[in-house]
Every structure is written in C-alpha cells, then in structure tokens.
Chains A and B, each alone.
Chain A
Amino acid sequence: MNDLMERLQRDFGVDDITVRKPALTTFRVKKDSAETLIRELRDREGYTHLNFMTCIDYIEDGIFTLVYMLHNYDKKLSLGVHVDISRENEDMVSIHTLWAQAWTYQRELREMYGINFPGSPRLEEDFCLEGWDDIPPMRREFDTKEFSEQRFGHREGRHSEEPRDHMKVELYPNRGGDEK
C-alpha cells in the first residue's frame, strides 16, 4: 500500500493521504489528473470495482468534493479518491467509459447537485425528480423546508416539541417541569 501511495504521490501529486481503517485509505487528487489516475488504478493495480461515487457540498469553501470509492478484490482493500471541483464551474470528466454503471451515478449527481459530466449517456433525462423547476435540491443553499411549505403546504394543527423540555414536563408535572 505504501509503495502504491508513494508512486501516486510522485506521478500524480496526490496529497491528504489518510488511512481511515486498515482496509480503507483515502487521498485527494487534482481534477485534471483524476480520470487518468482512476484508469491506472483499475487497469494496473487491480481496483476493478467501483463501489459508488458521490458528492459532498462544502459551501463554505465554495467546492464540491467528489468521492470515487474503488475496491480491490484480490487484496481486499478499498481506496477513496477525493476530487475537489468548483461549485461555480461544475464540470467533471465522465468515467462511464471505465464502468458502465457510473452513468447512473452521474445522472443522479447532475440532478441533485447540478454537476455536469459532458459525454455521459442520458445525462439530461429526469431521474427521480420529474419536471424539477428549482435549483438542484441537494445543494446546501436550497431550503427544503421553505420549498415544502410553499409547494405542498401544511395541514393545520401540526406542532413539534423540543424533546428535552417536553420530557421535563412529562416527568415532573407537579413542579411545572422544574427538575429541582
């Protein structure tokens, strides 16, 4: 594993190498060399399985972090490849040529985050959200509660309690919810 990491550091300039578990290591790589690196891992290093790919929205830093989770069946090791892309210029190289199932993930990422993967098949088709007409819902600037209230409305009479205060009143009714 260390040999591989040293080689990746030399060839691709990966950084932020973290051993999360004995069988799981993650590292960060630049957007431009990500596709080449993943291709190399698949073809040369035996990381033949794409567990999943997903996205994390770091709105404070203005970036999306894409996570590609690869698995090596011979060594029983997993690798998490993190790629930072800008929230504004959300283009990423498609990897559907490496794993055919990746285009489903990419379709979902385009719908939920608005990331574009040029060349990925059926990218513009609706996946879960048919006829969506707002900003992509998994972006953190999207206010789901406000959207739900405005679009779906609420039935009168629904209210919620702070669990801590509610249980105090339940437990000490004679003292008006006072613990002492």
Chain B
Amino acid sequence: MKNSLNTDDTLENSGLTEEEQLLFSNARPRAYEPYPIKAVEDFANWARANSLWILAFGTGCGAIELRPLMTARFDANRFGVAGRPTPRQSSVFIIGGYASVKTLKRIIRSYEQMQGPKFVICLGICPINGGMYFDSYNTINQFDQYIPVDLYATGCMPRPEALVASIMALQKKIKAGECDGANRYVENFDWYKANQKKVIKNWDMPDYNW
C-alpha cells in the first residue's frame, strides 16, 4: 500500500516500515517567509526576542548550567526566558556540551518537532570541535554538520553569566533579523539529512519529525 500523498517532492521515510509510513507525514519542511512590510517583521522579531522559551532537555554536562538561570541569583525571567517541558512549546534549544550519537538522534527529533521560529545555542567547546572528546568513538565533533547553530558560547563549561550574555547576544541577533538557522536547515535539508544518516546507523524515524 502506498501513501496516496506521495509526490516527487515528498520524503522517502525509508527508515520506517510500510505500515508506519502511512502513519507519519512525508512532507518536506518549508522555509519561513518574513512579512512583506519591514516594520511588521521588526515588531515580530522584537516580540520573539523577548519571549525565549528554552527546551528543558539537558544533552550534556552543560545542562547543569541551565538550572541556576531560573534562580533568584541569575533570574533569567527578566529576559523573558522560561523553561518548557516539551519541544512543541519552546523556541530555543540549548545544546549543553558534548552530544553522543544516541543523544544526537533525540536532539534531531526534538529540534524538528519545535515550531518555528526556533534558535539553537551551543554551550561549551565540545559542539565546536569535539573538545576533550575529539577522539571518542561515540561523540560527534562538529555539531553544525547536523543542526544549524545560531550562537556559540564556548568554554569548558561556560558559567551561567556567559549563558546570560549569550541569551542577550541572541536577542540582539534576533532583533536584527539575522537568526536564519531554521531556514538554513530547510534550504540545505538534504545535506543535513545525509550528514545525520552518516552517523546514525539505526534510522527508524521519519525523515522529518513533524
């Protein structure tokens, strides 16, 4: 049985069985198009920058740095930052350091489930070039090969102050309309997908997790 919605421009979802293929969408992601009026787009960006909801998914040792952000000492709420338990409700994905291949699969799944506009901050040196795990058999070395990154906060580990600074830098970038990570992901979708499938050998999920 073939999915009746199949066209030339749909995804193959070859990791799924035939029964499962009927249950999942095979549509490609679409790029975000800004409002034609610049003032409206600027206003939307201002609103986005002041309501950054973070996905509470600790993917590495940097997850420890996320916890103090919500305490009285750092008080990230003054930037409109809030923690969210599900990718559907969040707009910022903070990659907390190293990502093993097993975690990367969950990261991809969560990132694709997030609704746009969405932004990615990478904490620490590990997502940049592997850090101390540069020769590990199970830890990826260049995170931006798999997911587009908007901002890096390097260090091992950066303290919460650095995280607050990177949130402020992200706000500045969003207000300037320079955060196009999600669009880059759509435009180079096949390249990203090929990279992801090169390291994740048991691909048993849809090609795009709607």
Contact = CB atoms under 8 A, between A and B. Distances in A.
Asked if A and B bind, the verdict is yes
Contacts, number: 59
B102 A130 contact: yes
Q: Interface majority SS on A: helix, strand, loop or mixed?
A: loop
B138 A131 contact: no
Nearest to A134: B137
B78 interface: no
A148 B199 contact: no
B135 interface: yes
B201 to A, nearest CB: 3
Contact of A130 (B129, B136, B202): B202
Contact of A131 (B129, B137, B139, B201): B201
A147 interface: yes
Contacts of B198: 151
Nearest to B105: A130
A158 B129 contact: yes
A144 B114 CA distance: 34
Given A131-B203, A144-B135, 6 more contacts: A126-B202, A129-B102, A151-B198, A152-B199, A154-B129, A158-B129
Interface in B134-192: 134-142, 145
B129 A155 contact: yes
B124 interface: no
A158 B134 contact: yes
A153 B138 contact: no
Interface residues of B, number: 23
B130 A152 contact: yes
B101 interface: yes
Interface of A: 126, 128-133, 137, 142, 144-145, 147-149, 151-155, 157-158
Contacts of B202: 126, 130-131
B56 interface: no
Contacts of B64: none
A155 B102 CA distance: 21
A177 B102 CA distance: 45
Interface in B77-131: 100-102, 105, 128-130
A149 B141 CA distance: 9
B200 interface: yes
A148 B141 contact: yes
A134 B49 CA distance: 45
A147 B133 CA distance: 13
Nearest to A142: B137
Contacts of A130: 101-102, 105, 200-202
